[in-house]
Every structure is written in structure tokens, then in C-alpha cells.
Chains A and B, each alone.
Chain A
Amino acid sequence: MTDVPVTRIRNFSIIAHIDHGKSTLADRLLQETGTVNSREMKEQFLDNMDLERERGITIKLQAARMNYTAKDGQNYVLNLIDTPGHVDFSYEVSRSLAACEGALLVVDASQGVEAQTLANVYLALENDLEIIPVLNKIDLPGAEPERVRQEIEEVVGLDCSTAILASAKEGIGVPEILESIVQLVPPPPDTVVRPLRALIFDSYYDAYRGVVVYFRVMDGRVKKGDKVRLMASGKEYEIDELGVLSPTQVQVDELHAGEVGYIAASIKAVEDARVGDTITMANKPATEALPGYIEAKPMVFCGMFPTDADQFPDLREALEKLKLNDAALNYEPETSSAMGFGFRCGFLGLLHMEIVQERLEREYDLDLIITAPSVVYKVTTIKGETIFIDNPSKLPDPQHREKIEEPYVQVDIITPETYVGTLMELSQSRRGVFKDMKYLTPGRTTLIYELPLAEVVTDFFDQMKSRSRGYASMEYQIIGYRENALVKLDIMINGDPVDPLATIVHRDKAYGVGRALTEKLKELIPRHQFKIPIQAAIGSKVIASEHIPAIRKDVLAKCYGGDISRKKKLLQKQAKGKKRMKAIGTVDVPQEAFMAVLKLTQE
């Protein structure tokens, strides 16, 4: 790696909606600049985790340094800093953008601007980034570059006369994109002489080297062997390894202002080197940390219990390991009479929760019961204390509480006009308060609602997608707590209250939810050899009840022509299903039942 003057560095990221072709474009840039040759090219190089590749989304961001000889004959270093593409990780996005001077705004020419993209564009504008619009997938028959160009101009207020027409898949427009990055994105300010300040935009845990920290040097320079201090955590480390990402890690001796790289310094867990923290010199620290550091706060909580009580120590160990690599994951032991020992875990959002759950089951081979997600309620007791409740079963009894407040979010939905009606209906039914409606371009509308977060973390997103046939997109941000008439809904199975099924609902919706929930549980819990009553209650008052009739027969009538293998598979499947159920008293309850509250068909 040759030393490069600050004037010939360009740091940029790519802003795009899921499926609009960000990863493919990143791949092409790496190929075009010869950073990765075609032989080494795995599809979608930047998405490292299997999970990401399967879901086609980026969860953990990555970075890549490319050498590029521009038309002016000069050699440039282009650093691509990737951003995660989901609302749960908007803080990480903001830090990545803060490490750049420019951004490619990639919009699918057959689709148009989506809510997520818009939110990130605004973040980029706040960070003073130069934005280069790229209309992607112009090779598709449905591409309407003119319409989308107009839409970007009207919605984002960005001049699109020079927007690049591209097809990352076909390699169209890729050279033009590289050339515009050099010409339009400003070089970083030359602040090499100032004391070191480097912005952490990502980090991950490596079993051999400790945490590997990705950063952008904002001021000064940093060398291997330097003793550095992390300004937020206050901890000091000696740099064992310093390097750049091209896109695999390549060691270098020194990096200076404007450059992007990584360090390994025997840091024990990612929470010691959080995203947004500032690296400075231990002996010659900067006077002020870089702005914008926030400690990510979990918004959504759920209980995680091993199906098999013997797996509790394994679950603890797995969470400890995941925590090394996930500063936003919170957990503490939880005991429930129904479920035994487990953990109450906090997440940034629903996707984050699903990812952690999936990794625990896939990478650590644990069978888990996950309870329905809950938000954090703010309860004022009659003694005037304020307590935060992240577990519905811990809600103080009505006679001990003065009021309950719940978190609200502002939700921005972008949708084709046709679906405005049904999406307003959806928002209304989720206790939404209408704030605004804007016509973006003919046929596309923004709806703005204020909604309780609790209503959003259920199936709001899925409902929005299905009601709009996948066309609407959304974005939300927390706007604070509001008082509401909330009650705790208890569920009893076979006469015993089941803590993990307890839920906090608005009083006006309690009857509907109670009825729908008992019906759903009746559907999900298999028949047993005895009749099982299922009840929903507020305090001691039962508001809905159902019962699962006793099983009358369970027999395979025929074992035809000696073909036992098919019947055997059936029994194996049943046995496997039963093993994954949680025994609540004498009733076997399947995993899905604990998420039943998310699957209700509410009016």
C-alpha cells in the first residue's frame, strides 16, 4: 500500500433500498477497479454473514479500499463504506455516513424512492455529503428512468440532470460512477497535523485478535504500536495490528487523516469499542471527541427460554459470545414459573431480535422459546416513583400504579396512492394518530402517523407490506412517551396463568385481543388426552375463553404395501415437533403459541 495524499482520497457510501442493487453495484466497483478479480469474486462480496446473503440484506456493514486511475491520469484511493440496510440500525448508518464525504444514491429505475432510502438521504444531507444519484436496473423492461429522475428531484430536492443511468448487473454505467466519485466527491480536509481523532463505524469480535475496529481517520495519523485511547469508554490499548480493507485485511504501518482502515488491539468485547466512539492518542489526546456518539438503547424486549432446561448454561454461554460482537444486545436472567430459567433480552428492533434468535438456533444449536416482543413501559406508582417495565408480567397491580406511559414513534410510509386508504385504516386500527399526508409525485404519497411503538413491533410491517402488495415502505423514529389507558391481559392455560403470554394492551382493545388470542391459541396448541380450557383475563375477570377438546383418536389406518418409510417420516416429524414444545404443567405448548399475539387477525 503506497502512501496517498489526502487530495486523492475519496470516501463514499452507497444509499439504496433493499433489492435496489447496492451489493451488486459494490461488487462491480471492486471488479472494475481490479480490487477483486473475477475469479475470487463471490456474489455480493460485502455481505459476509450467511444470514445476510440468504435474506439479501446487509446487517453488518463492511468497507473496501480501491485503487483507481482516473481519466486525469492520477491514482486515487476510493474507500467504500457500506451501510446496513434496516431501520433497526439507523444509528450505525449515521456513523458510516459521518465517515464519508459523498454518497451514491442508488434507486431502482423501475421502482422509485422508498422510505428507507429517503431517511438515509436526509441523514447524508445532514452530514453535508455530496450525493450522486444513480438510476439502477435501466436494462429491465419496466425501467422508467425519467419518472424516477423526476421523483428524486421532487422528493429529495436533488438535481438529477446528471444522474447516471446504470445496470450494476450488466456493468452499465460503472466507469461513469467511478469517474463521478473522483470528480464530485470532495477530498477529505487535510488535517494530518492535528492530534489523532478516528471515528469508529464498525467493529467485530475475532477469537484470535480480539475486537477488530473499523474506523476513518478524521484528524492526524496513527501507527502500529501506538498507544490509543477510546474517548467514550476511556479505555487504552496498544495497536497490535493496523491495516486497510481491500476488501480483505492488508496490514500497513501508518494511516493518516482521510484514510479508512482497521486496528486490532486485544480489545475484549465490541462494547469496549462502540460504533461512534473516537480513537485518539493516549499520550497526546484530542481535546474533544468527534460529535454524534450515542450508546444504542434496546427498544424491544423478549424472553428467551431453552425448550430443554438442560440447555440453560449453553444459552448463557451463547449470549455471552454474541454479546462480544453485538454491543446493542442486552440480556439478564429471567425466571418464570411457567418457563423455568431463561433470559430477558433487549434489542434495537424486531429484525435485530430475529437475527439474534436465528443465530442462537443456527450457530449454537439451541431450541428456544421466544416470547412476544414487548416495549419498555414507563410506570408511575402511587408513591410517585417512576419505573421502567420491559416485561408485561412485571407490571405492578392497578392499585399500585398511578399511570402507564408507552413509547411512541413517528412512522413515515411511502406508498403508491392506491394503497393510501388501506394503510390509513391499518394505522388507525393500531391506535395511530394521523399527522400529515404529502403527495410526492403523481401516484406516490407519504403518510405520516404517530403510533405506539408496541403496535409497530407486532406485525405492522408485514401488514403494511401485504396490504400494499409489497409496494409501500416505512421508516420510524422514537418521539417520546405518552400516557394511555393500558391494562395487562393475562392468559391462563388449563387454569394456570402463563407469564410469557401476558401482554399489555389498550383497554379498548382488550376484549378483541383477548378473544382473538384465545382463538389463536386454540388453533396452535395441539389436542391432548384431556380437555384444556384457555382463558384471557384482566385481573380476576375472565374476558374470553375457549377450550381445546380432548383428542379422540390418533392412528394410522394403513401401512400400505410395506411402505413404512412415509409413515415413519410422519411420526418422526411429530416427535420432533413435540420435543420442541414447552411443557406448561401438563400441557405441551409449541413455540409459535408464544408469538401468537403477533399473529392475530385484528379488525
Chain B
Amino acid sequence: MEFAIPSSAYIHIPFCRRRCFYCDFPISVVGDHLNGSNSGTIAHYIDVLCQEICLTHSFGEPLKTVFFGGGTPSLLSAEQLSRVLDVLDRQFGILQDAEISMEVDPGTFDLNQIRSYRSAGVDRVSLGVQSFQPELLSSCGRTHTVENIFESVELIHQAGLQNFSLDLISGLPHQTISQWQHSLETAIALQPRHLSTYDLTIEPTTPFGKQLHPGAKPLPTDETTAEMYRMAQQVLSSAGYEHYEISNYAQPGYQCRHNRVYWENRSFYGFGMGATSYVQGDRFSRPRKTREYYQWVNGWLETGNEEKEAKKTSEISTSEVLLDRLMVGLRLAEGLSLSSLRQEFGRQKIEQVWKCLQPYQRAGWVDILSSDRQSMIINSDLPLEGQMKLTDPEGFLFSNVVLVKLFETFDEDDSARSH
């Protein structure tokens, strides 16, 4: 199998002032104030991160997108950020018009800092707002206030970063429909180019996971959160935002190019603790604990061997690639192109996919659209061309039901059970 050369890089900056109650990401808590000891910690991390980048094989294609995620990347100094970008540029090259995104948290940066991020090359920021209700912010463990949000947006504007995104969470404990509506409207008024709205997932290992039971008070009911999802779709669409992915909205021309790489199942580099990469068909997750990540980079440095414990010994099967493609591709509003699916996986496999999806097409969750966005389905038959997609919002809301059906049919892991 031939693999496309990666031209995107994800960089994980794990530091946070505190851990939010819903968060199960690989992070490292440094406290509310930067001091000698925790700045040393961050500096050391950057050293190791740069080592990892330098050790990584370049396939020769310069980077089109770079994404600093976290954690809280805005806990880095502008110098630290430029250093990472320099190392990336030396190792792979970064295209002149590359999208360089960075996640920032309200209250963690001043005007100087955001300006220097921009001069270092950052041209897109994503602000972790989550909610516009003070009581909801504090009840989910956020460190910032509502005022911080407005100040931060103002700073972003002043720094001339017109391409920015806001993150919101629906389904928080005690959250009501009208609070959600208020958050959506307040967000729109700040005129971001892009908005992400995430329905809260209760992860078992988090403080929320230990206190709350999915579907039970004080969490809103599934009925309510489904309603919130539909509301976001209506409110944001009528404000001119395109619902281009299950949880993402953008003004025309402002979709996140980096994230689209994931949804189109293309390859990408990953650097830093807990980061995943997808290179040469190999998905690899780095150690999720600081010390283990350091050991891993060190081992690589000493032996010259990149030890990928998770590395698959056998070639990954076509069914598995197909499932990956469907799993991420159906997240996009445009769905997947039938002709390219056929080309890649063969007519028979795609007919099988359609057999799984037909009942959901009848239920109104799945559709196939022509280039002028007309449904192309006649008598439930699979057309030759067109985009196979989930409908918005109903198909999106039940996307797991559809995916589980596909996994039941195609997951070979399961059917070839070992004794």
C-alpha cells in the first residue's frame, strides 16, 4: 500500500494551570502562577519536544498546517513557541501560507504575548471559552471568568488575528436551554470566524466521571442536550456559519484546514506527550505521562531506534482502513465521495457499506447528495456518483448508531476471535 506524505503537524503542549473537571487529556498541571520551578518544567519539555522533532524522519514535503493543542499552549512564552516553529521549519519546512493554529485560554496572555505569537507565525487562534455563565465556568473547573473571555477576544482583535475560533460546551451539569442559547448568541456577537460546540462527554477517569452519571441529574437529559445540538445548528446556521463537521461551524473559507486532515483520514505528524501521529499507515500514540514521554525520546536519542510499542506488526487490513475512513469522513457535512471510495476499496465493499446504511437512509439519517446538493437516491439504490453523508442534525445526532452498524459488519478484529 502506498501512503501519502504528511504535510501537517500536531504539537501537544500539555501544561495547564488546573485540570478542568471534564478533561481526560494528557496534561500536566503547573498551578495558577508561573514561577522558577514550573517555568523550568516547561523549558525542559520544550527541549525534549524539539529533540523529538529533530529525530523524526522527514519525507520531504513542507508543512501546510501546524496545530498547537493542549493543555494550554498559551502558557508558552513567544520565544518558546518560535523555537518550536524554527525547529519544525528546519526539519520539514513550513509553507509560506501555512495555517498555524494555536489553542489559547482566556486570562493566560496579554497583548504583547499574543502579538509576539502572531509575529512568530501563528495566524489562527482558538479560544477555550466553554460557557458565558460564571457559575457554569466555575462548576466545571475553568480558571477564567466571563470578563476574561471578553478581554481576551479584545486582545485577539487588537493583535490583528481576525481568524479566530471559540469553543463552547453544551450539556454541562445544571446547564439550561436558555443558558445555552445565551452562550451561542454571545459568541456570535464576538464575530469569530469559526465556532466549535462540543456536547459534554463524561469520561470515567475525570472528576465529572466520578461524581456524575450520564443521563442523571444534575446533568441535563439526553432530550435536552439533543435539543441544544439542534439549537446550535439553527442559531449558528442562520448567523452565517456553515455546519461543516459534527461539532464545528465556520464562516465560508474559514474551516480549520488542520482538523480537516484528520477527517479526511490523511497522514500527519504528531509531537509531544500523548500526541498521536499517522505516518505511513501507522497510527502511533506517544506515552501519556511526562516521565514516560521523556524516557521514550531519550531511548530514541540513545539507541537511534524509535520504539513504537503500539506499532502494528502486520499490515493493516483494507477493512480497517475503510472503517477509519468512514468513521472520520462521516463526521464531515459533505461526507465521502462515492467514486473515490469505490476506487479505493472496490465496488463490492461499498455495496456492502450501502447495505448497512440503507435502513438509516430510510430513517432519514443518511443521504447521498449530488454536487448541487440534491438527494440522488431513487428506490434506495446506491448511485454511482455523489457524496455519501449523514444528515444534519438528525444523522449527526445518531452517528454512533450508524458507525456501530458498520463496525459490526467490517470489524475483522472481532470476527477473527483468538482462542
Contact = CB atoms under 8 A, between A and B. Distances in A.
Contact of A553 (B25, B222, B414): B222
Given A553-B226, A575-B404, A565 B328 contact: no
A555 B285 contact: no
B414 A579 contact: yes
Contact of B229 (A553, A559, A560): A553
Interface string A561-589: 11111011001101110110000000000
A575 B399 contact: no
Contacts of A365: 417, 419
A531 to B, nearest CB: 12
Interface stretch (B152-160, B268-276, B374-382): B268-276
A565 B310 CA distance: 11
A553 B199 contact: yes
B413 A555 contact: no
Contacts of A574: 400, 404, 407
Interface string B32-67: 000000000000000000000000000000000001
A558 interface: yes
Given A559-B262, A562-B10, A553 B225 contact: yes
Contact of A563 (B246, B285, B404, B405): B285
B350 to A, nearest CB: 19
B183 to A, nearest CB: 15
Contacts of B301: none
B401 interface: yes
Contacts of B411: 572, 575-576
A426 to B, nearest CB: 29
B396 interface: yes
Interface string B336-367: 00000000000000000000000000010000
A571 B327 CA distance: 10
A556 interface: yes
A553 B402 CA distance: 12
Nearest to B12: A561
A485 interface: no
Given A571-B404, A575-B404, A558 B398 contact: no
Given A560-B25, A564-B327, A571 B403 contact: yes
Contacts, number: 108
A554 interface: yes
A551 B283 contact: no
Given A551-B401, A555-B246, A555-B399, A562 B261 contact: yes
A380 B247 CA distance: 65
A554 B12 contact: no
B247 A558 contact: yes
Contact of A552 (B222, B275, B277): B222
A540 interface: no
A556 B202 CA distance: 11
Q: How large is the interface on B (under 10, 10 to 19, 20 to 34, 35 or more residues)?
A: 35 or more
Interface in A529-561: 529, 551-561
A362 B399 CA distance: 33
B324 interface: yes
Given A553-B199, A578-B408, A559 B285 contact: no
A565 B276 CA distance: 9
A318 to B, nearest CB: 14
Contacts of B400: 554-556, 571, 574
Contacts of B363: 529
B288 to A, nearest CB: 10
A571 B25 CA distance: 19
A298 B411 CA distance: 40
A558 B419 contact: no
Contacts of B401: 529, 551, 554
A554 B327 contact: no
B229 A558 contact: no
Nearest to A527: B222
A562 B25 contact: no
Nearest to B199: A557
A368 to B, nearest CB: 14
**B199, B201, B363, B408 interface centre (most CB from chain A within 10 Å):** B408
A574 B407 CA distance: 9
Contact of B270 (A529, A561, A578): A561
B200 interface: yes
B225 A575 contact: no
Interface of B: 10, 12, 25, 67, 69, 198-201, 221-223, 225-226, 229, 246-247, 261-263, 268, 270, 275-278, 283, 285, 323-324, 327-328, 331, 363, 396-401, 403-405, 407-408, 411, 413-414, 417, 419
9 contacts: A529-B398, A552-B225, A554-B397, A555-B199, A561-B69, A562-B10, A565-B276, A571-B400, A571-B403
* List of 7 A-B pairs having minimum Cβ-Cβ separation, nearest first: A575-B407, A552-B222, A554-B400, A562-B262, A557-B199, A553-B226, A552-B226
Interface of A: 362, 365, 529, 551-565, 567-568, 571-572, 574-576, 578-579
